[in-house]
Amino acid sequence: MNFTYFQYKQINKNKQGSVLIMPIEFPTSPMQNLRLNIQQLVATYGIDGLQEILGEFGLGVDPTKTPNNIEDISGEAVEEYFLKCPRFISLSPDTRTTYKSELTQFFKFSKPTPTSTATLRQLAEPKNIVEYLNKYEPRSNTRAKKASFLRTFFRTTLKHFFNEKIEEIKPLLELKTDESDIPKALKVDQLREVVHLAAAKGNGFRNFTIIMTFLSSAIRLNELLQLKFGDIDSERQIIQVVAKGRKGAKRPRTINLLGLSILKNYIKFTYQSQIHTFTEEQLDQLHVFSTDGGRSAMSPRSVQYIVKNLINMATSIPKKMKDQYSVHTFRHCYAVYGLESGIDIYTLSKLLGHESIETTTIYLKLFDDQLKRAVENHPFANGLNKGDSNESFA
């Protein structure tokens, strides 16, 4: 530091009795003024005295106790922090429930012994993470969900306890993508069989209505389950849904007339007793898809099981392809066949409820692949044949 004018003050005497002095700069800026004040405090009270005073105000820093020097944290402490941290609390109720379950499963797998809980360092061991994720198919939805949870969990806890990023283990938690990861849509004949099977089995009207609501509005599973009577606006052809990432806020989604008609008929048939005895306000609060008369919604697992069972029963879907389809497949079908019918990407993005059109463009790749296959079936794909001869004009 360059000084224009110095004043010297005695700080202490060293072992040889020599006076130790330090320069004090006359301030020419706020930062220099701060330095001057600190230098004067050190000159008056010494380093130890200053640290003691700062410590009384909770401002002291003990270098032996900085986050980077903490050796490890118990699993119990990690779990307690994660379930109360702002990141976890900011998640939607359903995501919090899912993450609690994922946390329990991961901790159970990672136990070093049957009676002990893994520490944070043990949980973050690359070997532990790889072995846990390797229990699931590389590109399965289950593995993707678990990797997503672990990214959130480690990004939050390692930052809090050790002030570390997840760079070292991040590659282990990334999803490997290739052409097979493009959203899958059922063919029309496969879709038709699934819908017919839904109507023919037990609770057929309910299951048929669930699938037709997906196909008529492209809403997500969570959005469907939280749908209540009061969310249906027949005149505007709209259903209000609790949109993804909106923390309870509802957004309007358009439903086609066929789907709206099926939905209204299902409500009239299923809730005849309530319609005749409940007030309008009470009816508005009933869940459309419920197993207890509308008081609460069906569980996500119930709908997932219904759809997976229908896919497994469908003979038009090859056995090796069945694992690629899920509840979300109906949303993919809505998008792909919407593009095929001529709906532009901007309109489709709004119908799907996407925040950004970039999210919708992933379906363009799947649609492009369909177009490539379709164009090869065009009569001109093999040239123009003359009569019965093989002569062609390409």
Same domain, 225 and 310: yes
CATH, residue 281:
1.10.443.10
Task: Write down the pLDDT at residue 346.
Answer: 82
pLDDT score, position 393:
41
Confidence at residue 182, expressed as pLDDT on a 0 to 100 scale: 61
Asked if residues 391 and 385 have their Cβ atoms less than 8 Å apart, the reply is yes
Each residue's pLDDT tens digit, 79-112: 999 999 998 988 878 788 889 999 999 999 999 9
Query: 357 in a domain, yes or no?
Result: no
Cα 208 to Cα 15: distance, rounded to the nearest angstrom: 91
- Expressed as residue numbers, the domain containing 36 is 6-61
* pLDDT at residue 1, rounded to an integer: 40
Cβ neighbours for 320, distance < 8 A, ≥ 6 positions apart: none
Q: In 232-389, which ranges are E strands?
A: 232-233, 238-242, 250-254, 384-385
One-letter amino acid at 97 equals T
The percent helix, strand, coil of the chain (3-state, each to 5) is 55, 10, 35
Largest interatomic CA distance in the chain: 117
Structurally, how many domains does the chain consist of? 3
- The span from the CA of 285 to the CA of 231, in Å, is 9
Q: Which residues of the chain have pLDDT under 70?
A: 1-32, 35-36, 39-50, 56-70, 139, 141, 175-183, 244-248, 364-394
The reply to whether 133 and 205 lie within a common domain is: no
- Please check whether residues 206 and 323 belong to one and the same domain: yes
Structure tokens at 24: 């004090």
Same domain, 176 and 193: no
Return the C-alpha torsion angle 276, 278, 284, 286, nearest 10: -90
